[in-house]
Chain A
Amino acid sequence: MVGIVCAYLKEAKPLIEYFGLKKRNDKFLIYENEKISLIISGQGKLNSAVATTFLLSTREISHIINFGIAGSSEYKIGEIFLVNKINDNLFPDILISHPFRESEIICFDEVVTGGNYKLVDMESEGFFKAAVKFLKSHQIHLIKVVSDNLVCFRPSDEFMKNLISSHLENIKKYINLLKENKKIDLSIAEEIAKKYHLSFSQKEQLKNRIMYYLLNNIKLPKIDFEKTNRKNDFRRIMNEFKI
């Protein structure tokens, strides 16, 4: 499933409605369906890191997105960006062709109300540093919408909705591009190992062999000995799986 971390409920609301997410009773404010799990972290690096860690340690998540607003002295209000660099030294890997413009972001501890910055926020660094403990950098994404040109303000729900709603379709498209890790089914090895009481290392050898067969499109032999014989079963099995 895809995780989304938002600092404020205001930023999250348009997504919650659009994706039809349902509120869960949990230690954090979490909204979910079968595909998406969205958590509200609160403001700042530390809060973002804690919520990200919580989400990634309690759910099976293959990609995680930090979605939120950002300030900018360069871009127009309402523009949306996929982040390719945080603070000079953190790099999410962008490996798919996507519908957004890209930008760097600088993450601050306090609200920024001046200076020249492409994008600034207060969460990205904490989010990223927590996420890399669980996922690889191509599974970590940051999408930011410019909300202000570096002034201090309190956006209303209405303002947020207007800011974000025109981007929802592209956000959905982007989420659909994110792939789950492929898993190869090796349950047959488990079954054989159980039935013939194979040791751990024998089971590993058998798994390797089954992988070799699958990757070469060779039909797997049927293992169904009439009599089992602990001493010889493994040898007999491997004989059926000749290379």
Chain B
Amino acid sequence: MNLRFSHIYVEKQVKNEKYVKEVLSKFPKAEVIEINHYKDRFNPYYQSFRAQRQAQALILAKKEVPFIYEASELIQKQDKNFFYTTPMLNCIYDCHYCFLQGMYPSSNLVLFVNFEDFFEEVERVYKNLGNMFLSISYDTDILAVENLFGVAEIWADFVKNKDIKLELRTKAVNVDGFEYQENIVFAFSLSPEIIIEKYEKYTPKLDARIKAIKKVINKGFRPVIVFDPIIKVKDYKKVYKKFIEKVFSEIDYKDIESIVYGTFRMNSTQFKAIKKELLSDIYYYPYSVKNGIVEYKDKEEIIKFIESLLPNIKKFKV
């Protein structure tokens, strides 16, 4: 039995906020524990990221500076003035290949509730630049918890009538609440069903994700499709050929803004940290390690093969 959110930790400074009370009212059975600062709960070294996944706790907190980050060169940029922000730390999904496992001492979900502070900072930076591309689901899946926390909707409201493109990268499928808005970019991550089943725990099935893509297209959005990470499973060529053919037989590629794709890769420090706790064959494959990055030895060949399957639209290799 998974006991997600059986424990909710609330910073004293936010406990009386309306939004916090609303969130708490959704979990009447949860044990609510007051804390001084979310880092007291989140940072201790003696936690087990993996074990905590059995009963992921929720931490409601106030974020401090910085509120947004400029995307580094390592991150593929689909647009100029690319920024990302972290309205939440960690994710309710549990993908074997997720680098968060190697980045944070805890897998508990930290939700920042001081939206106004984020908005103020975004407003300041964006006014200087004239426009902005802002990903709010870069290292989490914010849509996955939309029904509980409504974070994407709050941001979508904020960017209305502003020259800010808001990217929602997701594996989730709950898109019904979104009316067409020209500056929202849905980026749907897709994987072959056998990869979803084996490595993307708790995520919706491929068919459900394709259905969600069709829904947003019908509303007028032009979504991005993300094939990342591509994983070299057994007979991967057959698997990916069938998969990509299926995707573009159901979705007209002309309705797609662009495709983002890349093979599995990871910083080797994170790789080692994850391998200590997670039992997944991903961490036992014979990769090459170059400049601190773990990746497939035949990455170029895999990429070439995938490219041969993709339709002729805007593409970004990561």
Contacts and interface: CB of A to CB of B under 8 A. Distances in A.
Interface stretch (B45-53, B140-148, B167-175, B303-311): B45-53
A102 B8 CA distance: 13
B48 A85 contact: no
Interface string A74-98: 0000000000110011010111110
B36 A216 contact: no
A208 B286 contact: yes
A237 interface: no
Contact of A97 (B3, B36, B46): B3
Contact of A95 (B54, B279, B285): B54
Contact of B31 (A84, A88, A136, A205): A84
A138 B56 CA distance: 12
Contacts of A205: 286
B75 interface: no
A181 B1 CA distance: 18
A211 B46 contact: no
A148 to B, nearest CB: 25
Given A84-B31, A95-B3, A216 B281 contact: yes
Contacts of A184: 279
Interface string B10-48: 000000000000000000000101011000110010111
Contacts of B33: 84-85, 91, 104
Nearest to B53: A95
Contact of A215 (B40, B47, B280): B280
B40 A89 contact: yes
Nearest to B9: A91
Contact of A132 (B35, B41, B46, B55): B46
Nearest to A207: B284
Contacts of B3: 95-97
A211 B52 contact: no
Nearest to A182: B279
Nearest to A140: B46
A136 B54 contact: no
A93 B47 contact: yes
Contacts of B281: 211-212, 215-216
A184 B278 CA distance: 13
Interface in B272-305: 279-281, 284-286
Given A88-B36, A211-B281, A136 B48 contact: yes
B55 A96 contact: yes
B7 interface: yes
B274 to A, nearest CB: 14
A97 B6 CA distance: 9
A209 interface: yes
B1 A215 contact: no
Interface in B127-142: none
A137 B48 contact: yes
Given A85-B33, A89-B40, A136-B46, A95 B51 contact: yes
A117 to B, nearest CB: 15
A93 B9 CA distance: 12
A13 to B, nearest CB: 31
B284 A215 contact: yes
B36 A89 contact: yes
A141 to B, nearest CB: 13
Contacts of A96: 3, 54-55
A97 B48 contact: no
A96 B40 CA distance: 22
Interface string B259-280: 0000000000000000000011
A86 to B, nearest CB: 11
Contacts of B279: 184, 215
B285 A212 contact: yes
Interface string A134-152: 0111100000000000000
Interface in B144-195: none
B46, B51, B234 pick with most chain A CB within 10 angstroms: B46
Interface in A209-230: 209, 211-212, 215-216
A127 to B, nearest CB: 13
A132 B48 CA distance: 11
Interface string A108-151: 00000000000000000000000010011110000000000000
12 contacts: A84-B7, A85-B35, A88-B35, A88-B40, A89-B35, A95-B54, A132-B44, A137-B46, A137-B47, A209-B286, A211-B281, A215-B281
Given A102-B31, A212-B284, 13 more contacts: A85-B33, A88-B35, A91-B9, A93-B48, A95-B54, A95-B55, A132-B44, A132-B46, A138-B48, A209-B286, A211-B284, A215-B284, A216-B281
Which 4 pairs from chain A and chain B are nearest by CB? A212-B284, A132-B46, A215-B281, A95-B55
